[in-house]
């Protein structure tokens, strides 16, 4: 898988992989994760008629590590710069966890005219629970989110073991390019504070919510809320016996569900 780079307008070098030909699918990882997490998707979809681009966020993976502009909206701008620099059109956006939040930020800022379809993986549009919302992260509220935010990723997030092939790849990249939690802390808090419910409700392109049915994160079923609020454009699928990383834990089923969605919407 080839590695390429762009330099953003605030002078940060971002790494991405680019393989295959056809309609472009852009895969976006979650907080503290790396583009290699999409190994099985990159291989499958590039062999089935798509161009696959996987991006490392600023201060993640092989991209430049910096404290500069570590905000969700800036990551959305980085995605926009990737799309415009490569002159991509009619893209399919796939985001896991925080990557979904960046997609919703991108749509909020730049609109949907250049987006064909959206796929979000195990992510609620609002992470902090309050009186009117109980489908965020378990036990997380406005009174404790600063204290609990760093602890959320310390719990086991998967139901099944990661396949050895991907585990070895991820370990190699994470050893060579370790994540700096101190640099990322501001981004994590900014991510936690977002509320994308209005954006989700107003999306006019097909959007698929992929849910790990054993995900340990969520206090309630956010996908049902989203589907009811936008039942024309929102679809959902449950990947059984998977946690927060269904694309890794059951890549075969995950890829089949994505494939079906792309061909039938």
Place of tokens 């992510």: 123
Q: Residue 2: pLDDT band by 50, 70, 90 thresholds? A: confident
What CATH number should be reported for the domain whose range is 3-264?
3.40.50.1820
Q: Please, what is the average pLDDT of the chain?
A: 96
Angle 33-36-40 from CA coordinates, rounded to 5° = 120
DSSP helix/strand/coil, 258? helix
Burial class (CB in 10 A: 0-12, 13-18, 19+), 168: exposed
pLDDT at 1 over 80: no
pLDDT score of 164: 92
Mean pLDDT across the stretch 219-230?
91
Task: List CB contacts of 175: < 8 A, sequence separation 6 or more.
Answer: none
pLDDT tens per residue across span 232-245 = 999 999 999 999 99
Place of tokens 């190699």: 172
pLDDT score of 150: 86
Place of tokens 């370790």: 178
pLDDT score of 168: 92
The domain spans of the chain are: 3-264
User: Distance between CA atoms of 88 and 147, rounded to whole angstroms?
Assistant: 40
């Amino acid at each position: 898988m080839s590695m390429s780079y762009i330099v953003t307008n605030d002078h940060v070098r971002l790494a991405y992989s680019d393989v295959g030909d056809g309609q472009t699918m852009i895969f976006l990882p979650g907080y503290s994760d790396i583009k290699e997490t999409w190994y099985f998707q990159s291989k499958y979809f590039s062999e089935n008629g798509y161009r696959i681009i996987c991006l490392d966020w600023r201060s993640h993976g092989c991209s430049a590590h910096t404290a500069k502009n570590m905000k969700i909206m800036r990551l959305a701008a980085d995605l926009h710069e990737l799309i415009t620099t490569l002159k991509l059109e009619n893209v399919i956006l796939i985001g896991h966890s925080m990557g979904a939040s960046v997609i919703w930020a991108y749509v909020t800022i730049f609109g949907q005219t250049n987006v064909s379809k959206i796929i979000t993986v195990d992510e609620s549009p609002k992470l902090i629970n309050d009186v009117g919302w109980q489908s965020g992260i378990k036990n997380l509220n406005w009174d404790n989110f600063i204290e609990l935010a760093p602890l959320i990723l310390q719990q086991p997030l998967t139901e099944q073991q990661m396949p050895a092939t991907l585990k070895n790849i991820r370990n190699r990249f994470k050893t060579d390019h370790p994540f700096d939690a101190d640099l990322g802390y501001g981004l994590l808090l900014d991510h936690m504070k977002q509320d994308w419910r209005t954006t989700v409700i107003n999306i006019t392109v097909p959007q698929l919510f992929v849910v790990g049915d054993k995900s340990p994160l969520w206090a309630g079923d956010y996908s049902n809320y989203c589907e009811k609020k936008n039942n024309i454009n929102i679809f959902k699928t449950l990947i059984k016996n998977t946690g927060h990383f269904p694309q890794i834990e059951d890549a075969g089923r995950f890829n089949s569900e994505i494939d079906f969605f792309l061909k039938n919407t």
